[in-house]
Amino acid sequence: MDRKIQIAVCGYGNLGKGVESEIAKNPDMELAVIFTRRKPAESLQTKSNAPVAHIGEALEWKDNVDVMILCGGSKSDLPEQGPLFAKDFNTVDSFDTHAKIPEYYAAVDDAAKAGNNVSIISIGWDPGLFSLIKLYGGSIIPEGKTYAFWGKGVSLGHSEAIRTIEGVEDAVQYTIPVASAMERVRSGENPELTTREKHERVCYVVASQDADKDIIEKKIKTMPDYFADYDTTVHFVSHEELKANHAKAMHGGNVIHTGITGTGNKHVIEFSLHLDSNPEFTSSVLIAYARAAYRLSAAGEYGARTILDISPKLLAAEEPEELRRKLL
């Protein structure tokens, strides 16, 4: 095997730790460095023996890194880091603020083009693999409709929203798809489903000893955007129970495309994910697309890309000839 693809991780939160643990399963890749905001960088405790450096010194690593995986958050890290690092590195990120993707794409595209780099944005499962299935479904059966369901899974945003309520010490929120709604979709009925009909929300809340649980429950259930439009159930539990039964960052979901051909023949295309660890899975998708970024850059391409642009074969460690033999 040739020299391994040298990967940098930028940010050592859940995603960065996921890249660190999963990269070893890819024999053609190697973790070159972990960049952190911490000062001094050496104070960061990591699991691997990869070098650690301060994010402000990233440029010094330019010649030793093939692809930088940006593992920061979409709210404040990536809007800044995406365009910044695309100037100097091939990058992959999981920017997932759906409404702002066109604007983010444009900013990263400008930077990547200026730096002659490839930057693959918004990688993961939604946006990401779910987007792919929507594209395949809609392109193959145009006379049809695509539905997405999320869960059962932990929504970090909703869990955090509960924690902002006075008297709440901790909380975990599950998004759960309504099974009967999924069955209606699979039947090819093409239903119009309201927000409430598609998902329910179940909350496990640790209240402080003197808190009024009725008030907390009411505040959760009436919270606009987050809960008001859903059937929401609230369970009060102890810290111990929350830790014992609700600590896994599980998630997943289903994309279902149904449509018609000929004189009314129904077709159902369905894709589902059941993930014990949402961040470790997302990290694994990022790693596969880092391989693609490396290959595209090596082939002389540059600019921003999304999952919709990337040839499937670019994700696989195996050679195209072996893939054809094994998979077709």
Return residues touching a copy of itself (CB under 8 A). Answer: 18, 21-22, 25-26, 98, 101-102, 105, 122, 127, 129, 131-136, 138-143, 186, 248, 261-262, 265-277, 280-281, 283-285, 288, 291, 306-313, 315-317, 320-321, 323-325, 327-328
- CA dist 152 and 130 (Å) reads 16
Closest approach of Cβ 19 to a copy of itself, in Å?
11
Burial class of residue 308 in the structure, from the number of CB atoms within 10 Å of its CB (0-12 exposed, 13-18 middle, 19+ buried):
exposed
Question: Are residues 17 and 42 in contact, defined by beta-carbon separation less than 8 angstroms?
Answer: no
Residue 119 or 232 with smaller CB distance to a copy of itself: 119
Closest approach of Cβ 282 to a copy of itself, in Å?
10
Closest approach of Cβ 83 to a copy of itself, in Å?
17
Residue 71 or 234 with smaller CB distance to a copy of itself: 71
Residue 97 or 233 with smaller CB distance to a copy of itself: 97
Closest approach of Cβ 115 to a copy of itself, in Å?
21
Closest approach of Cβ 91 to a copy of itself, in Å?
17
The token duo for 72 is 């920061």
- Name the 3-class secondary structure at 139: helix
Nearest to 154 by CA among 275, 251, 13: 251
Residue 165 or 268 with smaller CB distance to a copy of itself: 268
- CA dist 314 and 249 (Å) reads 29
Cα Dmax for the chain: 68
Residue 56 or 320 with smaller CB distance to a copy of itself: 320
Question: Are residues 85 and 304 in contact, defined by beta-carbon separation less than 8 angstroms?
Answer: no
The token duo for 76 is 């404040």
The token duo for 50 is 């990869």
